[in-house]
Amino acid sequence: MVSSKIVCLAFGAMALAGCGTTFVEEQNSLQYSPVMPQPALQIQTGFASGAIYNPSQAGLFATDRRASRVGDILTVSFSERFQATKSQNAANGKAASFEMSLPSVLGLEKLENGLRTGTTQSFTGSGSAAQSNSLTGQMSVTVARVYEGGNLEILGQKKLTLNNGDEYIRVRGIVRPEDISSKNVVLSDRIANAEIKYIGAGDVADTGKVGWLQRAATTLSPY
């Protein structure tokens, strides 16, 4: 009975692993689903107070279409460029000797060679690392939440289906209304707590990753 349960669990794990990155990324896509606004009970469209500002509008002017409410669409312009270089060198050395002389009157002159010792140690190390990343382009996201101070939480993803797999671009973060341009565009370096992901899924992505069974065997192997 116990062995049959183990076999079932093993087949279940193999079936789940066989789905590959496509199944995993499709599940992760649910976290980036657009948030739709709740229907308002009553929306005031007139100017009862006689002022030119209407709180039901996004901005002061009728042509102002910048995102400001849950469900509004906002365009993110990627301008990510990072470059890092690190170099390190280290060297040290140490030498020590010990020698002891015995009195000749004891007749132990022959043991003097056995009482001489010395050590020499040296170490030299060097290392360097360089990394450069760049991401440019644009994609549209939606406003998922409006904070008390007016800041907007945005999230969204773009899925590209290619011949041998899918490509996902995902964005999540917080933006200030002041950083949104008149064209309803915000730069990616103006997103606070930004989470930007560029992930591949499918046959091509799977070939670049080690299988789950091989990873488990490598982890358990004492060699």
Same domain, 79 and 91: no
Q: Is 32 exposed, middle or buried (0-12, 13-18, 19+ CB in 10 A)?
A: buried
pLDDT number for residue 121? 78
Same domain, 77 and 185: yes
Phi/psi for 39 (5° steps) reads: -65, 130
Same domain, 66 and 171: yes
User: Of 152, 157, 141, 189, whose CA–CA distance to 58 is shortest?
Assistant: 152
Any domain includes 199: yes
pLDDT digits 0-9 by tens, 46-68: 555 555 555 555 555 556 689 99
Any domain includes 214: yes
pLDDT number for residue 210? 61
User: Of 27, 29, 19, whose CA–CA distance to 206 is shortest?
Assistant: 19
Same domain, 103 and 64: no
pLDDT number for residue 177? 95
Same domain, 95 and 79: no
pLDDT number for residue 124? 83
Residue type present at position 202: G
Same domain, 147 and 205: yes
Asked whether the predicted pLDDT for residue 11 surpasses 60, the reply is: no
Return the bridge partners of 15, or none.
Answer: none
Q: What is the C-alpha to C-alpha distance for residues 223 and 115, in angstroms, rounded to an integer?
A: 42
Any domain includes 49: no
pLDDT digits 0-9 by tens, 88-121: 888 888 777 766 665 655 555 555 555 666 778 7
Among 129, 156, 187, the domain boundary falls at 129
Among 107, 129, 151, the domain boundary falls at 129
Q: What is the C-alpha to C-alpha distance for residues 117 and 110, in angstroms, rounded to an integer?
A: 15
Phi/psi for 137 (5° steps) reads: 135, -175
Q: Which helix (H) or strand (E) holds 219?
A: helix 212-220
Any domain includes 101: yes
Same domain, 168 and 202: yes
Q: Which residue has the higher pLDDT, 25 or 202?
A: 25
Any domain includes 16: no
| Owning domain of residue 92 | 86-129
Same domain, 147 and 178: yes
pLDDT number for residue 16? 46
Residue type present at position 170: R
Same domain, 112 and 198: no
Same domain, 113 and 73: no
pLDDT digits 0-9 by tens, 150-160: 999 999 999 88
Same domain, 155 and 182: yes
- Going from the C-alpha of 108 to that of each of 97, 99, 112, 113, 220, the distances in angstroms are 21, 15, 7, 10, 58
Any domain includes 71: yes
> What percentage of the chain has pLDDT greater than the value 70?
61
Asked whether the predicted pLDDT for residue 21 surpasses 60, the reply is: yes
Same domain, 64 and 148: yes
Residue type present at position 185: V
How many domains, the chain? Answer: 2
